[in-house]
Structure 1
Amino acid sequence: MLMLLNELKKNHVAVWACENKLKLAFTGETPPVQLIDRVKEKRENILDLLNERNIFSEEDFKHFTFSENHAGSDGPATSSGNNIEMIFPATSLQQGFIYHYLAQPQDDAYRVQLLLDYHTHMDLAVYQQAWSLASLRFPILRTAFDWEGEILQIITAGSSIGPTNFTTLDITQSPEEDRNKAIKAIQQNDRNLPFDLNQPGLIRFTFIKQGERLITVLITLHHCIIDGWSYPILLQAVHEYYNQLIKGQIPQVVVEQAYLATQQYHLDHKAESEAYWAEYKAQFQGANDLSALLSHQTDLTQIKAVEKPAEQILTIQGSIYEQLKDTCRTQGVTLNVVLQFAWHKLLHLYTGDDQTIVGTTVSGRDVPVEGIESSVGLYINTLPLMVQWNKANSIISVLEDIQKDIAALNSHSAVSLVSLQPDGESLFHSLLVFENYPSPAAHENQEGIENTLTFRQGIEKTDYPLSLMGYEQDDSLVIKLGYGEDWLADKHALRLLRQLERILHAVACDPHQPHTSIMFLSEEERHTLLHTWNQTDAPYPQDKILQQLFEAQVEITPNDVALVFEGEMLTYRQLNERTNQLANTLREHYQQRNAPLQAGTLIALYLDRSLEMVISILAVLKAGGAYVPISPEYPAERVNFILQDTRTSCVLTQQHHLAALAAYTRPFAEQPALLATDDQTITAGQSVENPAPINKPTDLAYIIYTSGTTGQPKGVMIEHKNVAHLAAAQIKILDITKRKKALMFAAYVFDGTVFELLSNLVNGLTTYICSETERNAPAVEKLIQREGIEIAILPPVILKLLNGA
């Protein structure tokens, strides 16, 4: 609120309270409409503050200042004597860090550390003074945070770095071989110390003296005030001040304005940014399920912190690296874009999703603010980068789309990730960071302290289940994969990196090839998938069709229960007889239309889960046709498309669906006949004997349509012989002949029902049809336990919720 009042004063606007009404006056130009809108929006809060501060006239407001005497309850940053210079809303990433700080105050995720070795005699007092001057130059080092209401960053006046920020330790007496271990312990102990985000100066230093000419400096900062881009800029400024001070010169400190100007820029362009994100997030399809990448079943949505972090490294160098660089130059893309493509493509290949979303760290410096390139602060943000996988696209077309989207994210980076996530659900479970930071130039004076510096280590931790970091180093591309040992084994992490390397190689070799041409598996992995894990060779009756296999089983177990649904059951004989009656009805129907049913004739099914659903499937096969399942839950457009695409002249349904189907098909030039299978009058008087088959193993058994997420749905045609082979193979793999009871869980519009139903019925099992109310983890678990079901094919999302799964 203080920030808003400060902005009003800058625009020559005064506000005050008068009889619990908000009064406003201005001089000069009319204030910005956006500013007045914000006053209207915060009217009650402003009134409360004005009454609290006794601001009851225009003159009172003009004399109001934001000093420690007036800041009072608005932030502990003022309690230690720091005058407030400016107040801005916290950036979106800072807000996220504050929420994390409040929820998990002991977690060290956003404490960043640098270990620097100075190989010289260092004047520690002068080094401290150099850092104090740096805090005067860079406002972010003088920033504290307040979250009593709106989360604010409060820029204080005066240096925020002094003697209390420094500690000195001496390990010169330790044996040289033990010093690295000692430094590691010091670093870890310091990492465990929290910061008080209410106070400015969120940085501390530990001088570790190893010898007269070797000082290790441990710098620990909170991520709220800095990003990777800022480190070299900040160190360069400190070194320049040190070099001047050590020579007895008085440094000129020019306060950097770009950080504050950027905060104002984002305030002024808030509406434009909100419009961009409203359009962008409307395309989100949700987080990708990364279970297929993991070694152990883990619910990534429940991970709050990476308790056992691990890391594997891949280095791309030599000819492949040079090819990649050359491809980037000729195609006008960056290495960051290529790495983004490779990681997204790997996720696409593992998940099968047509849209992949990865958390992407953008620099946040692509805004028109002078000096932003050399500014210090937290400019970065982690935002969702979305890639759509159209099968027709080439690698280069996807790369170009990614480059455009990253540029757009950078230009609209001032957005809270929380605001983009529906109902607080994460949009992504992996993070990609490409480090491409400016390097500080060596000082012309070879005696400068920066020339004695070697970078020992940087320690930064993330709490994303999977994180990928890339950077260029010594004519190579280094890629680090971070993960938790609880969900990914080291060998599997290395395998992911090798597969990533093969994708990068494909990009380097031919960026114009279709992305679907990329082979990410090694020859060994391909052999394992295609042969070791796919030993499905099994003898099967090649001269038989499905209904004959079923009829043979009926002869063997006529009185065994074949189907159970919501308390109703049918024996194999009963199921066969009802199926025969419906099959004969179908043949008679076609005969009456002067068009005898031909082998492979497409007959649509529009049925709820029921005994009639199974009867209809078998009846179509016995009649000689091929069934086409359609879900009553499909939208009208999809139903119409499938009916017209198949040109079916008959639909088997249930009585309560007749009206809807009639409405769907009314515009058709040739309307299909609608037969209600739960109307027993349509089969009355029909023979219960097996009809003579008219089809053969190479004829169609069914057509199942794809989801249509990449365009119109496409029908996949399956012949009798393929299903017969599947049934035979499952006998071998699952030892079905020793089982008695199986579950039908999948919707019949999915291929999984072929195994769940037909494989069971030709092998004599009792199949329990799971009702709609039982298609959730607790209910299906009760059903399995109650009925003693031995075979159940369940989706991973259900399976992982079962006890003991």
Structure 2
Amino acid sequence: MNLVALLKEVKNKGITLYLNDGKLAFKAPAGAMNKALKSQVVALKVELVELLEKRDSTETSKIEVIDRQPDDALVTSFPQQRLWFVDKLGRGSHQYNISAALKLSGTLKPEALEKAFSSIVSRHETLRTYFVAGDDGQPVQKIQNVDGFDVVTIDLSTIEAKNQQEEVIRYVDQETTYNFNLNSDFMLRVHVLKLSDAEHILLVTMHHIASDGWSVGVLITEFSTLYAAYAQGKGNPLAPLAVQYADYAHWQRNGIEGKVLDKQLSFWTNQLAGLPIIHSLPLDLPRPSKQRFAGHIYSCNMSKTKLDVFEQYCKDNGATLFMGLHAVFSVLLARYSNETDIVIGSPVANREQPEVEPLIGYFANTLVLRSDLSDKPTFNALLAQSKKTLLDAYANQQVPFEQVVEQLQPERSLSYSLLFQVMLVLQNNVQGSEELPDLTLSHVKQKNTVSKFDLTLNIMKNDEGLRVRWEYNTDLFKVETIKCLAEHFERLFEGLLSAPENNVFDVKMLSEPEYYQQLTTWNDTAVIYPKDKCIHELFEAQVEKTPNAIAAVFEDQKLNYSELNNKVNQLAHYLIEQKQVKPDTLVGICMERSLEMVIAIFAVLKAGGAYVPLDPDFPKARLAYMLQDANLSIVLTQIKLRGKISINDNQLEYLDDSMFLQHLSDYSTDNIDPLSQGLTSKHLAYVIYTSGSTGKPKGVMVPHSAVVHYLAHAVENYLTDNIVGSVLSSPLSFDATVTTLLTPLMAGRKIVILPEKQDLVVEGLINYFNAEYDYLFKITPAHLELLSTCNISGNAQHIVVIGGEQLTTRCLMPWKRDLLPNTIYVNEYGPTETAVGCSTYWIRELQDLEYDVHAVPIGQPINNIKFYVLYNGQPIPLGAIGELYIGGDGVTH
């Protein structure tokens, strides 16, 4: 028995619990406090004392019968008012239908069944209540006569057996999803499907505005009692009701006021200040703009052995089972969402007054439970926090959820529920008797499930342990994700107890196969490549193979491999002999795209230095900072850029100056042996500046080995036989430029260099996209957006590598579907610190773009790269939110 249920039982028996000098005491009628009940009080003594200390001493007033005439407009309760507005906003919806389908096997007496339900509707005014707008626009409720109520019987007995089941499913689904008209309908619908003389299906549907979970038990119990009596020719055996729901609604509007209301509203205002608008659980599908409440249920069980151990732990720590379950669920949500502010809703029966217990009506209230895991608590500490959270919530549960919402004024949306979207329920409701004379009852499984929230964990304790039902919104989650949640919840249920003094984020949640899959299987990427070579050594090897092949083209200029290599060697010898460049010497390159830029890059590398791109379009202040930070004493540039770099003129070399070029012609065209320079693949190839997290540019040092690692991947995957070369369209300061700048020169292909002006870049890209031959492109999503409206078409089989920012399905779809459908697109991900790129997702066919996912995936790690998605240093479940850790050969200094 949980705390709430115990409080109800002692109240129903006329027992008063109170504190006497801080100790628990009670007053009870003779025999009321029996041995069994006393043991329950003792078991929950600590919680009872804490709750009594928190609760306001002011007792709420008793519910009285209000004077009213049959046609009077009566006030609604706060929950009814909210559901009425929700219904109006959504123009009717079935998400608040409460349905049950029972198979009745045996001899059914239809007259007794109809009379039983008519008696129930007559007995409970709320089932014959309808709702209209009052003069002030607020809803009022009116009570109609029972005469219009009918039980609808549908005869399916003439349908062949093989088709009968399909008809049953169709009728059940149709009935459970059929909207109530709150303006005129009875709030109870009853259908009987006749399958044969000895077999019927009973369909019962109530609207939540007139019912709740407790009410279902009341309905079933009363129906069973009345049917049994009427079937045997007896009268109505039920005792008259002391009050009706309309009396409760009037009491709620007028009885909860003054200090009690102010104090409890103040508690909720403080407790829920700064509440997250929406949870951060990863979704399998994009959240729709309006909820459809389509749901499904995944069920599983947890053994009594596990439950006994868990309950004993909770008891030893002065907590209830629900407090423990709430703590475990909070850990699960935190570890899946990578958040520490966890919000969970939980219903309470809210039937503290004995006179409302036998009523059908919407009494249930919702408590918003908030957990703080920001300090990485132990499970012992988190359980204590959950205990306090629950006790505080119970002590302030008289305020209707609707008034809490009104007080907080949260941002409203049709796409999610207010304040919380995840619910936790431990079933303690009255289930009702399901025994009928001459009939055997069994539940009929319903195809359609309504999910009022994104996710509801519904737990029922039974003799076998725990029955766990995961009710989820199918517009957001796939069943595979829910199965994983269920498995990891059970693993935490056990694991947190095995190490209650440990940080809850350190407790193992994954299975051994999951660990092995993430740490080993998915990271089995090792391949052999020339890891000990420098970039220019791979280029020189290609010069030997294809000396006369065109290497680089710029406007009307071109160089073959041999010509390019000779010019590079002359500049490299000059840098060594005249500028004393050696391994890891940083050399600035401030140049527009040109053949000279390519020569400069390879010359710096051959000399042993590392180039530092200085984009001519950067502000002078940024360039000055980079010059100072990199301590540059040499900058290679062009005459047209004179004045861009604030450095002594003798530290500048203008590679397009005729006198300088004449001087270079005196230097050797021989290759330089790296050993003569002491150069290895561990030395730097370039230093590229990113924006930096502090606002100041940050230099990322990239060694030859990291670039060679990337180039080995790019050559193998991007330079298919049909690719004649690349189109270079991006600045040198953008590290993704390496793809189209260096990759072709490692494999005997050419690079086509586009001019610097933006309009010429766009024109050039359009021309080469429409070209007769196939090329390798490296562009950003912004380029795709810009060019998507241009005249581009054809059957070209280019390779288009996309990087630099997040790629969306919306951005790429027109390209793959319409513009260049035969082209292969590659979404390449990689921060600068991983040398250009470290993972790829390939879009070869249109179906590789998932229409229901906003972002195109980043794919899988390339060769010799390892990916680990961790939260708090621990591997996390597939699909959960964490931080990406990247390891392997491509990681820079």
State the distance in 1 between where 2:384 and 2:731 align: 39
Q: Which residue in 2 is equivalent to 1:377? A: 362
Q: 1:722 to 1:190 in 2, by over 3 A?
A: same
1:362 equivalenced with 2:343 (yes/no): no
Q: Which residue in 1 is equivalent to 2:680? A: 696
Q: Which residue in 2 is equivalent to 1:435? A: 425
Q: 1:437 to 1:521 in 2, by over 3 A?
A: closer
One-letter amino acid matched to 2:182: L
Question: How far did 1:84 drift?
Answer: 0.9
State the distance in 2 between where 1:703 and 1:393 align: 42
Q: Which residue in 2 is equivalent to 1:462? A: 450
Q: 1:705 to 1:336 in 2, by over 3 A?
A: farther
Do the aligned partners of 1:359 and 1:385 also contact (CA within 8 Å) in 2?
yes
1:202 equivalenced with 2:213 (yes/no): no
Of 545-554 and 472-481, more deviation after overlay is shown by 545-554
Q: Which runs of 5+ in 2 are unaligned?
A: 1-66, 643-651, 752-775, 818-845, 850-893
Q: 1:497 to 1:132 in 2, by over 3 A?
A: closer
TM-score by length of 1: 0.60
Q: Which residue in 2 is equivalent to 1:507? A: 496
Q: Residues 111-134 of structure 1, C-alpha deviation per residue, up to 9 Å, x if partnerless? A: 331134689979436523542355
State the distance in 2 between where 1:776 and 1:201 align: 55
Do the aligned partners of 1:383 and 1:417 also contact (CA within 8 Å) in 2?
no
Q: Which residue in 2 is equivalent to 1:73? A: none
State the distance in 2 between where 1:568 and 1:499 align: 64
Do the aligned partners of 2:348 and 2:364 also contact (CA within 8 Å) in 1?
yes
1:476 equivalenced with 2:471 (yes/no): no
State the distance in 2 between where 1:261 and 1:743 align: 77
State the distance in 2 between where 1:590 and 1:368 align: 89
Do the aligned partners of 2:572 and 2:606 also contact (CA within 8 Å) in 1?
yes
Question: How far did 1:207 drift?
Answer: 4.5
Do the aligned partners of 2:103 and 2:202 also contact (CA within 8 Å) in 1?
yes
Do the aligned partners of 1:393 and 1:514 also contact (CA within 8 Å) in 2?
yes
One-letter amino acid matched to 1:113: S
State the distance in 1 between where 2:750 and 2:266 align: 63
Q: Which residue in 2 is equivalent to 1:228? A: 213
State the distance in 2 between where 1:606 and 1:277 align: 55
Q: Which residue in 2 is equivalent to 1:51? A: none
Q: Residues 253-290 of structure 1, C-alpha deviation per residue, up to 9 Å, x if partnerless? A: 323555555567699788986787662247x6x86653
Provide the secondary structure at the position in 1 that maps to 2:654.
coil
Do the aligned partners of 1:116 and 1:457 also contact (CA within 8 Å) in 2?
yes
Do the aligned partners of 2:615 and 2:733 also contact (CA within 8 Å) in 1?
no
State the distance in 2 between where 1:306 and 1:210 align: 31
Q: Based on CA coordinates, which of the two structures has the bigger radius of gyration?
A: 2
Question: How far did 1:339 drift?
Answer: 3.3
State the distance in 2 between where 1:722 and 1:772 align: 25
1:155 equivalenced with 2:141 (yes/no): yes
Q: Which of the residues 131, 137, 159 maps onto 1:144?
A: 131
Do the aligned partners of 1:205 and 1:220 also contact (CA within 8 Å) in 2?
yes
Q: Residues 524-569 of structure 1, C-alpha deviation per residue, up to 9 Å, x if partnerless? A: 55555556554533221132134544565577589757799xx999
Do the aligned partners of 1:306 and 1:463 also contact (CA within 8 Å) in 2?
yes
Q: Which residue in 2 is equivalent to 1:218? A: 203
Provide the secondary structure at the position in 2 that maps to 1:279.
coil
State the distance in 1 between where 2:558 and 2:220 align: 80
Q: 1:755 to 1:660 in 2, by over 3 A?
A: closer
Do the aligned partners of 1:727 and 1:755 also contact (CA within 8 Å) in 2?
yes
Question: 1:623-638 alignment to 2 at 5 Å?
Answer: none
1:114 equivalenced with 2:100 (yes/no): yes
Provide the secondary structure at the position in 1 that maps to 2:83.
helix
Q: Which of the residues 611, 619, 622 maps onto 1:657?
A: 619
Question: How far did 1:779 drift?
Answer: 3.7
Do the aligned partners of 1:742 and 1:765 also contact (CA within 8 Å) in 2?
yes
Question: How far did 1:251 drift?
Answer: 1.0
Q: 1:426 to 1:167 in 2, by over 3 A?
A: closer
Q: Which of the residues 313, 317, 332 maps onto 1:342?
A: 332
State the distance in 2 between where 1:799 and 1:417 align: 40
Q: Which residue in 1 is equivalent to 2:865? A: none
Q: Which residue in 2 is equivalent to 1:315? A: 301
State the distance in 2 between where 1:717 and 1:550 align: 21
Question: How far did 1:198 drift?
Answer: 1.9
Q: Residues 460-479 of structure 1, C-alpha deviation per residue, up to 9 Å, x if partnerless? A: 62368974543224333344
Q: Which of the residues 667, 684, 708 maps onto 2:654?
A: 684
- Percent sequence identity is 18
Do the aligned partners of 1:551 and 1:576 also contact (CA within 8 Å) in 2?
yes
State the distance in 2 between where 1:83 and 1:371 align: 23
Question: How far did 1:615 drift?
Answer: 10
Q: Which residue in 2 is equivalent to 1:53? A: none
Question: How far did 1:196 drift?
Answer: 0.9
Provide the secondary structure at the position in 2 that maps to 1:127.
helix
Q: Which residue in 2 is equivalent to 1:721? A: 705
Q: Residues 85-135 of structure 1, C-alpha deviation per residue, up to 9 Å, x if partnerless? A: 115676796267425742xx5x64443311346899794365235423553
Q: Over the residues paired in the alignment, what is the CA RMSD in angstroms?
A: 6.7
One-letter amino acid matched to 1:114: A
Do the aligned partners of 2:189 and 2:206 also contact (CA within 8 Å) in 1?
yes
Do the aligned partners of 2:327 and 2:383 also contact (CA within 8 Å) in 1?
yes
Q: Which of the residues 796, 799, 806 maps onto 1:790?
A: 799
Q: Which residue in 2 is equivalent to 1:47? A: none
Q: Residues 618-637 of structure 1, C-alpha deviation per residue, up to 9 Å, x if partnerless? A: 8997786789xxxxxxxxxx
Do the aligned partners of 2:499 and 2:507 also contact (CA within 8 Å) in 1?
no
Question: 1:243-392 alignment to 2 at 5 Å?
Answer: 246=235, 251-256=240-245, 279-281=274-276, 290-291=283-284, 299-301=286-288, 305=292, 311-326=297-312, 328-329=314-315, 332=319, 333-343=323-333, 345=335, 347-348=336-337, 354-355=338-339, 360-363=344-347, 376-377=361-362, 379=364
Q: Which residue in 2 is equivalent to 1:10? A: none
State the distance in 2 between where 1:366 and 1:580 align: 86
State the distance in 2 between where 1:436 and 1:748 align: 61
Of 265-274 and 519-528, more deviation after overlay is shown by 265-274
Q: 1:179 to 1:546 in 2, by over 3 A?
A: same
One-letter amino acid matched to 1:545: C
Do the aligned partners of 1:394 and 1:514 also contact (CA within 8 Å) in 2?
yes
Q: 1:599 to 1:335 in 2, by over 3 A?
A: same
Q: 1:270 to 1:608 in 2, by over 3 A?
A: farther
Question: How far did 1:684 drift?
Answer: 1.8
Q: Which residue in 2 is equivalent to 1:634? A: none
Do the aligned partners of 2:740 and 2:777 also contact (CA within 8 Å) in 1?
no
State the distance in 2 between where 1:404 and 1:745 align: 61
Of 467-476 and 610-619, more deviation after overlay is shown by 610-619
State the distance in 2 between where 1:745 and 1:188 align: 58
State the distance in 1 between where 2:206 and 2:183 align: 14
Q: Residues 376-404 of structure 1, C-alpha deviation per residue, up to 9 Å, x if partnerless? A: 417566989898788x6666667777888
Q: How many residues align?
A: 667
Q: Which of the residues 532, 542, 546 maps onto 1:543?
A: 532
Do the aligned partners of 1:554 and 1:576 also contact (CA within 8 Å) in 2?
yes
Q: Which residue in 2 is equivalent to 1:191? A: 176
TM-score by length of 2: 0.55
Do the aligned partners of 2:571 and 2:603 also contact (CA within 8 Å) in 1?
yes
Q: 1:220 to 1:367 in 2, by over 3 A?
A: closer
Provide the secondary structure at the position in 2 that maps to 1:363.
strand
Question: How far did 1:739 drift?
Answer: 4.0
Provide the secondary structure at the position in 2 that maps to 1:724.
helix
Q: 1:528 to 1:88 in 2, by over 3 A?
A: closer
Q: 1:249 to 1:789 in 2, by over 3 A?
A: closer
Do the aligned partners of 2:344 and 2:369 also contact (CA within 8 Å) in 1?
yes
